Structure 1
Amino acid sequence: MKRMKLDWTGDSEQRLNELNMLDKFRLKAYESSTIYKENMKRYHDQRIEKRAFAVCDVVLLFNSRLCLFSSKLKSKWTGPFLITKVFPHGAVELENKEVKKGPQ
């Protein structure tokens, strides 16, 4: 390096400045993505319909895993089910409601 007479002090300072600018850019991008996620969550939460279920309600159950069998005419809803218990956090306990047929 002495034979080539290179001055590394200026280059090293420039490299440190570039690393600092890169760190600032990364931090700004992180803050921007955090703000975006918060706004999207707020937007989504405003559009959720609150549903109140009561005991003895009859409901259908949506099966989101049915996409394994691709059929346009296959229903994704199963049921009917009878609600037997409603928990305070929104979960419900279901009982299979059997359709009782009389003698024919």
Structure 2
Amino acid sequence: MDYERAGAERKLQLQELESLRLEAYENYRLYKEKVKVVHDKSIKRREFQPGDLVLLYNSIIRLMPGKLRSRWDGPYRVERVEPYGVFHLSHPSSSELIKVNGHHLKLLNGEKMAKNQELEIFLLEDPPIAGD
């Protein structure tokens, strides 16, 4: 008689454990959905049109950092845009096209200034010398 009661208790414990496991999976799925929504809000969509001047991120410099070395190469011109963020670039000194991911590109500042027609100039002066 004790064995039957112990067996029934064990089955109840296993069912309770299974329901806890399913609840944990559901909570995890809901958490992942919320995190994905927050992450997707922070992603910047980069839209480039053919003819735009862009800079290309040089990932090799990351391995050999230099204090004053620029991490961006360019300017390159966007020649063709493909789906899923693939861009074909051409360099002014070469005729071949480079295929890159849009995450490695940023719009050249000179191009933005030409479109906005607005430029702010700061004149710098030498600081006064203490002996004068």
Rounded Cα–Cα distance in structure 1 between residues aligned with 2:92 and 2:44: 26
Q: Structure 1 residues 25 and 48, CA, compared in 2 at 3 Å: closer, same or farther?
A: same
1:42 aligns with 2:52: no
Greater alpha carbon shift after TM alignment, 81-90 vs 9-18: 81-90
Give TM-score scaled by structure 2 length: 0.56
1:102 paired residue number: none
Structure 2 SS opposite 1:60: strand
1:71 pairs with 46, 65, 75, which one? Answer: 65
1:93 aligns with 2:82: no
Q: Structure 1 residues 57 and 13, CA, compared in 2 at 3 Å: closer, same or farther?
A: same
Give the gaps of 5 or more residues in structure 1: 1-5, 100-104
Give the gaps of 5 or more residues in structure 2: 95-132
1:20-64 C-alpha deviation (Å, 9 max, x unpaired): 111111111111111111111111212222221011222222355
Contact 1:81 1:97 in 2 (8 A): yes
Computed over aligned residues only, the root mean square deviation of the Cα atoms, in angstroms, reads: 2.7
1:59 pairs with 20, 31, 54, which one? Answer: 54
Q: CA shift at 1:70, angstroms?
A: 5.6
2:115 paired residue number: none
Report the identity percentage. 34
Structure 1 SS opposite 2:17: helix
Q: Structure 1 residues 70 and 15, CA, compared in 2 at 3 Å: closer, same or farther?
A: farther
1:8 aligns with 2:3: yes
Rounded Cα–Cα distance in structure 2 between residues aligned with 1:65 and 1:39: 35
Any runs of at least 4 consecutive aligned residues in structure 1 with deviations exceeding 4 A, and if so which? 63-67
Q: How many residues align?
A: 93
Q: CA shift at 1:66, angstroms?
A: 5.9
